[in-house]
Amino acid sequence: MRAVTVPTPGGPEALVVADVPDPVPGDREVLIRVTAAGVNGADLSQRRGHYNPPPGAPEWLGLEVSGEISAVGSGVSEWSVGDRVCALLAGGGYAEFVAVDAGLVLPVPVGVDLVEAAGLPEVAATVWSNVFGHAKLLPGETLLVHGGSSGIGTMAIQLGAATGARVITTAGSPEKVAFCRRLGAEVAIDYTKQDFVEVVADATDGRGADVVLDIVGGDYLERNIRALAREGRIMEIASRRGPSTFDINHLMMKRGLIWATTLRSRPLAEKVAIVAEVRDHVWPLIESGRVRPVIDSVWPLDDVAEAHIRMESSTHIGKILLQLR
């Protein structure tokens, strides 16, 4: 089968579409004939040589797909050949076929196109497990989302608003700020012109944000603490601006929590539990129309380098997808 490989880490030019062995579904696995795959920041890190796949995962890129089940392994009773699905992966999504544990598979939500469904599993699982699982965001609390126009950000804004939280977000242009407001952010901050710490303080009468979802890292961590409410929770899920430093006294004064997490390397049982919660709590919101996938662009597999360039430009709004068929 054809898949996107990285023979030598580097820039987008390092991506090579090549023939690789067809996967075979093992016990409790299904084989998906891939229709589309989501492009994520982790894929860019892996392409650069900074984020190796966990043991047992395919070496080629891709953490989420949509498609049709073409075969089922032994012990699988909940899925059948021909089912239209999407799935969370540890790797291997930029390919014509992928084998994945049956517990990481989700039905395509009613009302969602099969291609668009490829942009749901990773963002839904990441936002749900961090904002609602670990941080336990409650209705009426304030959620600060960094990178509101990203795939993660667009999902976090919608889920926060749909579950009764007050959402504040940051974005990098007037166009992105306006889009975030349309998605449900009560306050949207252009971080190129405004200090989010000051705006959060003004918008909350000095109280701060109860939960912060941060995909930036680096020097944002100290500022997140300053923007935090007492007993607030900071969820650090990426580090794009180098090492993070902060004054522990500032965090202690807030009685705050910093929780740094990843999704890809979690044990299978934990990811299966997260996917089950996503199906129970997020899928009904999608099927009701209160939450929707936000798709920036769709690229043919052979244009994968252009898709990565688009993502690295930070001009996109929502998810970037690769379409295989």
Mean pLDDT by 10 residues, the chain (325 residues): 97 97 96 98 95 92 98 96 98 98 98 98 98 97 97 98 98 97 98 96 97 90 95 91 78 93 93 98 97 97 98 95 96
Amino acid 241: pLDDT: 66
Report d(CA 120, CA 133) in Å as an integer. Answer: 18
Q: Note whether 74 and 296 are within 8 A (CB).
A: no
Amino acid 239: pLDDT: 79
Q: How many of the other CB atoms lie within 10 Å of CB of 65?
A: 32
Q: Give the residue from 55, 63, 56, 50 showing the smallest Cα distance to 4.
A: 63
Distance from the first to the final alpha carbon of the chain: 13
pLDDT tens figures, 129-168:
999 999 999 999 999 999 999 999 999 999 999 999 999 9
Q: Give the residue from 288, 241, 275 showing the smallest Cα distance to 64.
A: 275
Q: Note whether 88 and 125 are within 8 A (CB).
A: yes
Amino acid 315: pLDDT: 93
Q: Which domains does the chain have, with CATH numbers?
A: 2-120+264-323 (3.90.180.10), 124-260 (3.40.50.720)
Whole-number percent of the chain with pLDDT over 90: 91
Rounded (5°) CA angle 79-41-304: 80
Which bin fits 140, alpha (ψ -120 to 50), beta or left (φ > 0)? left
Indicate whether this model's pTM tops 0.75: yes
